[in-house]
Amino acid sequence: MSSGQADGDASSRPAGSVAVRVEYAKDQGFHAELRRRVNELFLTTRMRKRDCWQMYLKSILILATAGVAWWLLVFKADTLAEGLALAALLGVSVALIGFNIQHDGGHNAYSDHAWINRIAAGTLGLIGGSSYTWRWKHTLIHHMYVNITGQDNDINISPLGRFSPHQKRLWFHRWQHYYMWVFYGLEAFKLQLFDDFRFITMGRIGRHPIDRPMRWELVNFVVGKTAFACIAFVVPMLFHPVLVVLFYYVVAGWVLGLTMVLVFVTPHLVDKAEFPLPGPTGRMDRSWAVHQASVTVDFARRKGVLTWLLGGLNYHKEHHLFPVICHVNYPAMAATVEQTCREFGVPYHEHRSFAAGIAAHYRWLRTMGKRVRSPAT
């Protein structure tokens, strides 16, 4: 990607386009002024928008941690306690690959060089996913239609959960604030073993048609899935019984799934986030940038270690407004984004800690599970 690409756009699109009716209102000055101020910040501080040395160093450390955890689990763990600890560490470290390396690469935010972004995005194969389907589901669909029921497939986490006030409530949703935490852990298995194949076979994600991978894209898909199968199953089964390998795969996968979901529901599926709907003609009342700010909530912005681990996803508003800027810059951008939002009357919400964000999601699950009583007539 060239450095001249608009850094506040909704992210670069994959080949082909999604035909949907939703259209945003024109920018009334907020987005243009915010981009001007952020660009000025980079000019005056001489920060790099991409190809940041901190990102390359972090990538080495995270990949090394995941590799060592896998090697110790497969070749050195002798007791159940050691195995459980290493499987949990592997699940978390693999999640960090997704939050940091793959996520920035998938958004073309890792580097100004397309081939480096492709390599970074391709690390999703280490998690068992596909950078091809992720690009459609996340970069194009989620980032364009955040929290719009029927458009954003990321709020359709599970039919067992009701996450939007515009989704149908079923009788068992009254208990979802208790049971969904268990099912969140299953999301990694769903990603690895089911979703990618279903999306490509059906040629659509939700109501959005997608292009099926062809040629090198298909080769990359097959190679990625094969590499994951070898890492997760084939090599470990050369040294351990099948049931032992499957047991630790489930432990690591459940930790991975729970970690991923908690980080991605905290900014969106909480009471401070909005869930707007388009009008009858498909037009939104707000511009794209105002919409992004209204449906995302930051959390734990002052926690430096957590920011490092989560790839800046706790600065979620900054990420959605500037998805092609490397996340190591988000803390420096946050004050500018907040000030501009407040000057233009654009919602700017945050949770002081990760725990506060998770608690807010718990309350939202409970609220969405309650029965809506009709007013007396």
| Structural tokens at position 340 | 């501009």
Best CA proximity match to 328, nearest among 119, 101, 138, 139: 101
Mean residue pLDDT of the chain comes to 91
Report yes or no on 4 lying in a domain: no
Please check whether residue 310 is in contact with residue 263, taking contact to mean a CB–CB distance below 8 angstroms. Answer: yes
Surface-to-core class of residue 63, CB atoms within 10 Å of its CB (0-12 exposed, 13-18 middle, 19+ buried) = middle
* Residue 15 domain flag: no
Q: CA 243, CA 232: separation in Å to the nearest integer?
A: 13
Query: pTM of the predicted model, to two decimals?
Result: 0.89
Flag whether pLDDT at 13 surpasses 60.
Answer: no
Is residue 16 situated within a structural domain?
no
pLDDT at 8: 52
Q: Indicate whether 376 belongs to any domain.
A: no
What is the domain extent for residue 40? Answer: 23-369
**Residue 217: partners with Cβ closer than 8 Å, 6 or more residues away:** 132
- pLDDT tens per residue, range 315-324: 999 999 999 9
- Beta strands 204-205 and 208-209: pairing type? antiparallel
Q: How many residues does the chain have?
A: 377
Reply yes or no on whether the pLDDT at 367 is more than 80.
yes
Residue 34 placed within a domain: yes
pLDDT(269) > 80 = yes
Number of domains in the chain: 1
In this prediction, residue 206 carries a pLDDT of 87
pLDDT in tens, 159-169: 899 999 999 99
Take residue 66 and report the two structure tokens written for it: 């995941």
Contacts of 283 (CB under 8 A, 6+ apart): 22, 23, 24, 25
Which carries the bigger pLDDT value, residue 125 or residue 248? 248
Tell which residue, 14, 329, 276, 41, has the closest CA to residue 145.
276
Residue 157 in tokens: 């986490």
Q: Where does the pLDDT of residue 229 fall: very low under 50, low under 70, confident under 90, or very high at 90 and above? A: very high
How far is it, in rounded angstroms, from Cα 142 to Cα 151?
A: 8
- Amino acid at the residue 237: M
Tokens of 166: 């515009």
Answer yes or no: is 218 within a domain.
Answer: yes
Q: Is the pLDDT of residue 7 over 90?
A: no
Answer yes or no: is 11 within a domain: no
Please state, in angstroms and rounded to a whole number, the distance separating the CA atoms of residues 13 and 141: 10
Q: How far apart are CA 143 and CA 288, in angstroms?
A: 10
> What is the β-pairing status of strands 298-299 and 350-351?
parallel
Structure-token pair, residue 168: 């149908």
Closest C-alpha among 19, 122, 126, 112 to residue 65: 126
Spatial distance between the Cα atoms of 20 and 204, rounded to a whole number of angstroms: 13
- What does the angle CA 238 – CA 186 – CA 70 come to, to the nearest 5 degrees? 35
Tokens describing residue 226: 């094969």
Report yes or no on 375 lying in a domain: no
Mean pLDDT on 254-274: 95
